[in-house]
Amino acid sequence: MMTNIIRRDPFEDLFRGFFVRPVEFGNTTAEAPQMRVDVKEDNDAYQVHAELPGVRKDDIHVSIDGPVVSISAERKQEKEVKEGERVLRTERYFGKVSRSFQLGQDIDEARASARFNDGVLELTLPKKAAAQARRLAID
């Protein structure tokens, strides 16, 4: 009768198990910031709603140049999970998103307004009054 002897290294088993089975922390993947935009038009103005979840009001910038509207936002997120004084996990995410689009008419920047509430940026962009053509009288 022949006996098979298998030599095992406990450290090898430890490392093999560590690298084969990934440590799971649940759904902690930081998503890149996204901006979903809805634009509505009536006779006097455009209404823009831009979803910016996880972004602070101070990190949003809106610029208007004639009919072109640009929105940019930066998201900074840090999360640290501690158990007692031991840090078990630290996660960071920094990202920037921007959108530019051209509307059908110039915007009256002086009357434009913006609100940010519950992760949604709401822009009211009044249309600039179209210049009336003036007939020149000939002397």
| Each residue's pLDDT tens digit, 26-50 | 444 445 557 899 999 999 999 999 9
How far apart, in whole angstroms, are the C-alpha atoms of residue 139 and residue 36? 57
Domain map of the chain by residue range? 29-126
pLDDT score at 76: 77
Beta strands in 1-133 (DSSP E): 36-41, 45-51, 60-65, 68-83, 86-102, 113-117, 120-126
Render pLDDT for 53-90 as a digit per residue (tens, 0 to 9): 888 899 999 999 999 999 999 887 777 677 777 766 77
Which amino acid belongs to residue 137?
A
CATH architecture, range 29-126: Sandwich (2.60)
Return the structure tokens found at 4.
């098979």
CA 55 to each of CA 6, 28, 51: distance values in angstroms, whole numbers, following the listed order: 58, 17, 9
